Amino acid sequence: MNTFTQELRHRGVSIWLDNITRKMLDQGVLQQYIARLSVTGLTSNPSIFEAAIAKTSDYDTAIKNISQSGISDEEVFFSLAIEDIQRAADLFMPVFSQTNGLDGFVSIEVSPRLAYDTENTLKAARDIHQKVDRPNVFIKIPGTPEGLPAIEKAIAAGIPVNVTLLFSAEQYEAAAMAYLRGIEARIANNLNPDVRSVASVFVSRWDKAVADKADPGIANKMGIAVMQKTYHTYKTFLLSERVQRVMNFGVSPQRLLWASTGTKDPNASDILYVKSLVAPFTVNTIPENTLLAFADHGETGELLSDDVALADHIISQYAERSVKYDQLAAQLQAEGAEAFNKSWDNLINSIAEKRKKL
């Protein structure tokens, strides 16, 4: 067992891998990460599947075998993705059992084309959840304004949800409240209210977005400052009367997840967003290269501060450089949705081309 990743896990941070490929599954790489690097979960997104399916030949045989008249390119993709997700979920089932269903989750996303379509997002979430048929799989739903009602209804329907594309404390809080309303609906209907969920807040894209506004004193500090604000909101949420009430009905509350934790700046530490976001009862979903870097030269440092004044001071310094926090948060969410749309289109188009050739 790697001492660096083990220490991070012991300090209360669940380590999830932000990657999945069929080759990784076939060659036993994921099993090694679970056994040696304390990896306890996994996330996927359209960009990850684009790289795995569209940019390699690893899935060509499978595409040929499942392609038949009347099946859409999107259906072919979900057939491939669901098989990978099921295999990964089975590998994490011992972790899921050992942690009483807190950890050991694998995530698969609804089509990003549905980010602004409430009803079809919910329909897709139900469909994928039924097809995956594993208790330790999250359905990823974007935390856009249109996604929030779908999140609430999915939780109320008993579907575990990974809320994605969150960028600020305010966006996180809106997602957390949607989750909570879904839980409260289950209590009101005398249903088992313990439906698991995480809320994924993206870190590194903040620093990338403001890189041209940063002087050496505040470079690569915006993302962590926003996470400090979000962590404060998270702790306030966990201590609220409404959350403690539902906990008394047997609920394990939604956890906060740090996403986009690969360092974008080549001049910064390659483990910056891992060592700086050490906070108990959180998840860090880590790109594979960053995970291996942390296993090589990791450090955990002090626990993340939830000092809002300190965070606001950093944010105010960027505000003096014309960076508007709320406006940029909305922009990053919209850009994130569009980036996933682009990856999705490339992925589906690539599958269409492969089907023609194969």
Q: 53 near 77, Cβ under 8 Å? A: yes
Which residues are known catalytic residues?
A: 140
Spacing of C-alpha 91 from chain mean position = 19
Q: CB-based contacts of 106: which residues, under 8 Å, 6+ apart?
A: 20, 41, 42, 43, 44, 85, 88, 89, 92, 134, 136, 137, 138
Q: Say how many CA atoms lie within 13 Å of 288 toward its Cβ.
A: 11
| Amino acid letter, 11 | R
According to DSSP, the residues that pair with 198 across neighbouring strands are: 162, 255
